[in-house]
Structure formats: structure tokens, C-alpha cells
Structure 1
Amino acid sequence: MGFTARPLTALASGLLLAGCAIPYSPVPVATNFASTQQAKLQAAAHWGVIARHMANELRPTLQSAPKRPLYVMPLQASAFSKGVATHLVTALVNDGFVVLKTPEAGSLKIELDTQVVAFSKDRPQYRYVGLPSTLASGAWVLTGIDHSAEWLGTAAIYTYDAYRWFTAQFAPGATPKTEAIVTLSVADEARYYARTTSVYYTSDEDRALYDAALQPSKTFVVKDH
């Protein structure tokens, strides 16, 4: 009796699970994307990193196109847009391109467009995996050795350093709700020649650096004479 009950239980469980996956639905079933990684901007130096990355992406197109001077034009007035534009001019000049201070007829415009989006504050907080296995593997490596107090202290330091080494690529803190969509376009009046788009996390506390709408406004007072 006990032997036959197990297959029956498994069959019943399978039928129950199969019944949950309905073959027809009035709307698409929500699913997750495959896991990806997205860089988090946390310093002005990171603005230079992404500017050089975009310059490298555009270099093949600019080198193969007819030689025309370039003009970098940020479309937003945020500190981020201005900073990236400055880094981009530096990268292009260092690559040997002619970059104008003001646009001229016949030049190619490099438009820098930044869109800041904010999602709900209660975003899923998926973190890296591997902490238990890292610590477990460290404990496994240390077995079979005479453990003095000094040795255990040294081993703990090296284990912690190894843990920080393997997890250093992950940004600390909660998943930000603020993201920046950065698009770089090379165009003239008639057509686009190249275009690249990247998305980055930004610290929620630093949103004013990325969102032009949050830049402090200047007030001018006109005095009557």
C-alpha cells in the first residue's frame, strides 16, 4: 500500500501543477527578463568613463565618414549632461577629430540626450548570490590545520578580503529607483549617421544632478531708472 501511494501522490501533484499553467489567457502572462547587470553612476569620474565608451562606439563611423568638423551639443542643461559633453569633447580631440566651439555650416552635430526616469520606490531588491558558498569554501579550505588564535584572526581577515574582492562589482545599498537613459546621435540636417543608447542607475539622492528640471533656476531683478 505504501509503495503504490507514492506514485499516486506524485501524479496528483503533477496534475495540480499542470492545472495552474492554463493554456489560454485573456492577457499575456507577466514574466521576468533574464538577469542582467546595469552600472550605477556614483561619481563625476564615471561620467568620463561613459563618455569615452560612447566615443569608442562612434569612432569607426566617424573615421569612415567624410572628414567633417564636429560639434557636441547637450540637449539638456543638467550638470550631468554638461559634464559628459565636456568629457566627450576631450575624448574626441584626443582621438584627432576637429571639434568646433560653435556650430558651422557643414559640420556634424553630436547630440547628447538624457532622459531621467523614476520608478516606484518599492523595487525588487535582488542582490548577488555567493556569500554562503564563499564563506563555506573558506571554512572548507581551512580545515585540517592547527588553529591558533592568531592564525584564526589572520584567516578571518583573508576570508573577508576574498569576499570583498568577489563582490566588489556590486553597488552597495538598495536598488535605485532613478535611472538615466543616455543617447548620443551623430547627425546633420538630413540624416543620422550613428546613434548609441545606454541606461544607467543613479543614486536617488543625486537626481538633481541628472534631471534638468531640478536644476536651480536663476532670478534676475530689473530695476527701473
Structure 2
Amino acid sequence: MALKTAMALAAGMLLAGCAARYTPTPIPANFAATKQAKLQAAQHWGVIADNIEKQLAAELRKSPPRPVYLSEPKDPNPFQRALAAQLTTSLVNDGYVVSRSPAGSLRVELDVQTLTFAADRPQYRYYGEKTALAGGVLALSVIDAGVGFNAVTGVGTVDAHQWLNSQFAPGETPKTEIIVTVSVSDQYRYLARATSAYYVADTDRVLYGIVDPKPEEPKITRTFQVRGDI
């Protein structure tokens, strides 16, 4: 028994010694698990506009009311054009005076930054599995962000499984993301600002102004055999 205890202590000390106390650079660590919305329809753009308007309105109420003017970017892509139109609608419906001229108005500016990450990004998934138990009873085991539970039921397990997983977008983790920033300012300062990030379906990249280069056509090499004297 004493030998086993000594061996266990030695193994613990050995493992503790493997963890470096000092490193020249920080050790990479994961963030806590979070969720990020994936844009897959024009209706989602309206949801973004409404959410942005609510954030801006909360800040604008702290200052005396003034008309606002929406400054659209030059040559807007389909997403930017739709976002500007839907944000204008949200502001008008919320009682704000949206001016057609910048004179005497607060300026609302849209900025959309597109990002392309590596195509082989880590693929983390929500786990919800159906397990058959004795007597035809099914158990639904769910693990979400480190929290696990088992739901045992005889009827409707398939529906429960689909319901629990429906909040997660299908397919692989997109390589495309956008950062949307909307600012309200006058000539001296920012009065309100909202920034948010979203996944974008890789098949819809062109809607966000991302034009991928066409693949180069393979070069054709021909070999000629020369016969006879030159």
C-alpha cells in the first residue's frame, strides 16, 4: 500500500512538472462556448435592422431629438442596400424623423466588414442523440455547452430530438462572416453605435460583395516530335 501511495505521489509530481510555469508567449485557450446567428434569408436582414434600431434608439433617447439622415455607402451590395432600406423603415416606424437631406441632421452610417476564414474551420456541433432502452422506451441524451441531461419518453422522441436541434444551423461552420457597425454622429462626436457579427452562408457570398476569383484554367502543353533533318 505504501508503495502504491509513493508511486501515485511521484506520478502527480511528474505531471505537475510537465506544466510550464513560464512561457515566452501566452498559451492559446478557447473562449467559453457561445452561439452566433447565421444569415440565410432576406428576412434575417430585417431582424438585424430591427435589432440595430433598438440599440441606437436606446442611446438616442439620452439626447434632444433631432432628424437623422441615413448615409448609404457608394455602390452598395445587395445586403447593404437592403439593410439601409430596412433600417430606415424601422426608424420611421419608431417615430424618428428620417431626413432626405444631411443638412441639420444626425448622420447614420453603415459599415459592413466581410471576413473569410480558412475553409477547414473546427466543426463543433450540438449533440442530441436518441438511444433505445429496454421495452421500446427511448432516451434522448442532450449535451449543450457542457450541460447534459437525459429525457426518457415513449412517444414523440423524434419530434423532441428535432425540436432541440432546430435552433442550430445545418451544414458545416461557414468560412464567411460579417461585422456590421452602425454609427450615429454629428460633426463633433458619436451619439450612438452598435456592432454585431454574423455567419454568412458560403453560397451567398456574392450578396455581401465578396467576389471570388475564377479558378485558373489548366494550361495545355503539347509535345511535338520532329522527324527528319533540320
State TM-score, norm by structure 1: 0.80
Q: Kindly provide the CA deviation profile for residues 180-218 of structure 1, in whole angstroms up to 9, marking residues without a partner as x.
A: 00001001222111111000000111111112x539xxx
Residue identity in the other structure for 1:113: D
> Which ranges of structure 1 fall in alignment gaps of 5 or more residues?
143-154, 216-225
Total equivalences in the alignment: 196
Greater fraction helix: 1
Q: Kindly provide the CA deviation profile for residues 82-129 of structure 1, in whole angstroms up to 9, marking residues without a partner as x.
A: 11111101111101111123x332111111100000111111101113
- Structure 1 stretches of at least 4 aligned residues deviating more than 4 Å after TM superposition: none
Residue identity in the other structure for 2:172: A
**What's 1:98 paired with?**
97
Q: Cα offset for 1:8?
A: 3.3
Q: Kindly provide the CA deviation profile for residues 56-98 of structure 1, in whole angstroms up to 9, marking residues without a partner as x.
A: 1111222332222111123361111111111101111101111
Which residue among 188, 193, 196 is the counterpart of 2:194?
A: 196
Contact 1:75 1:114 in 2 (8 A): no
**What's 1:135 paired with?**
140
**d(CA) in 1 for partners of 2:77 and 2:8?**
61
**d(CA) in 1 for partners of 2:169 and 2:21?**
40
- Which SS does the other structure have where 1:110 is aligned? strand
Residue identity in the other structure for 1:177: K
Contact 2:174 2:201 in 1 (8 A): yes
**d(CA) in 1 for partners of 2:4 and 2:158?**
46
**d(CA) in 1 for partners of 2:102 and 2:83?**
22
- Which SS does the other structure have where 1:15 is aligned? helix
1:119 aligns with 2:131: no
**What's 2:28 paired with?**
30
Greater fraction strand: 2
Contact 1:41 1:203 in 2 (8 A): yes
Which residue among 199, 202, 205 is the counterpart of 2:203?
A: 205
Identity, % of aligned positions? 50
